[in-house]
Amino acid sequence: MSDNVSAMLISLSFTFGKQGGEDKALTEELCNRHGSSTKAVKGTKIVICKEAFAPLKKLTGEWKQRLGRITAHWDIPGVFLCKPVNVPKAIELRDEYVPLLNVQKASHLLERLDEWKELTKSQTKGAYKEEEFPTRESLINDVTWTMGVMPLPESEALRRIKDIDDTLMEELTKSHNARVQSGIREGMASAYAKLITPLQRMVNNLSKEKTKIYETLVTNVQEVIDEIPGLNLTDDHELNRFATEAKALLSSIDADTLRDSPVLRQETAQRAADLLSTFGATGMRRFSIN
């Protein structure tokens, strides 16, 4: 694997405050009733109905999913490896979603808070507790979303930390380097997988005698191909060749031509299968974590 790795870390976090959790009194009652331990039975309560957060969670899910298309997962939940060329795209996503989330927070969650209180009461029946229902102020403070961008730390930065002896420094450096290399390998395996998945779907679909062909069968592959330069963390030559060959395969086909020609469908399926055989499995093996 190339040592010439350039990557950033992007953190994405969402908080929605306390919406529910364990009700210890209910847990105890259930345990006594069924003769179970607290490890086997948990009584849960609703603090505020999930409907209050539905649009917000839909938007945050979309944001995270779209960020995942141009990044690789780091070993911390909510943190992603991002090639510098894709950082502006990540910032564009932030600038797109934050205003949408702010609008939904104000109009759906806060302005309709009395409605959510009544719905919560109806869902929880006698278990509703007025003092547990979140206030407007608590929701303003607790319902948040943040995205941060930072450079991938280098082992040399550890050496600038004072009061660490040589033995500990060596261990920290070794551990850090292993973590970075593991993250890069997983990122590269993820890049290969992102191209393999829609290509394999194409092979499976076009190999059937009777099949429905949608535009996305082709466009999903094209979209990944366009993202490969930003996903190729090590500028791997084979991954670039994989994307180039896949682009050439798609250059003369679209959904309409595939629908009209059974022969073209079979030829395309075979060429895509050949690409997967030549580049896909090899690439995954090269960057797999043992």
C-alpha closest to that of 189 among 229, 225, 236: 236
The chain-wide mean pLDDT, for the chain, equals 86
pLDDT at 2: 42
Give the model confidence (pLDDT) of 109-122 as tens digits: 999 999 999 999 99
Question: What long-range pairs does 131-139 form, CB within 8 A, spacing at least 24?
Answer: 132/45, 132/47, 133/47, 133/48, 134/17, 134/18, 134/47, 134/48, 136/110, 138/17, 139/17, 139/105, 139/109, 139/110, 139/113
pLDDT at 183: 86
Confidence of residue 158 (pLDDT cuts 50, 70, 90): low
For 158, the token pair is 């550890």
Confidence of residue 290 (pLDDT cuts 50, 70, 90): very low
- How far apart CA 222 and CA 202 sit, in angstroms, is 12
Please compute the mean of the pLDDT values over residues 225-247 and round it to a whole number: 94
DSSP label at 112?
T
pTM, to two decimals: 0.79
In the three-class reduction of DSSP (H, G, I as helix; E, B as strand; rest coil), residue 51 is classed as helix
- How far apart CA 138 and CA 117 sit, in angstroms, is 14
Confidence of residue 52 (pLDDT cuts 50, 70, 90): very high
Helix ranges restricted to H, the chain: 24-34, 54-69, 87-104, 113-124, 136-142, 155-158, 166-206, 216-231, 237-250, 255-260, 262-275, 281-286
Least confident window among 37-51, 138-152, 248-262: 37-51
Give the model confidence (pLDDT) of 167-182 as tens digits: 776 777 777 778 888 8
Query: Residue 253 pLDDT more than 60?
Result: yes
Q: Measure Cα distances from 77 to 9, 36, 72, 127, 265 in Å.
A: 12, 33, 12, 34, 41
pLDDT at 180: 82
Query: Residue 101 pLDDT more than 90?
Result: yes
Q: Name residue 46's beta-bridge partners.
A: 20
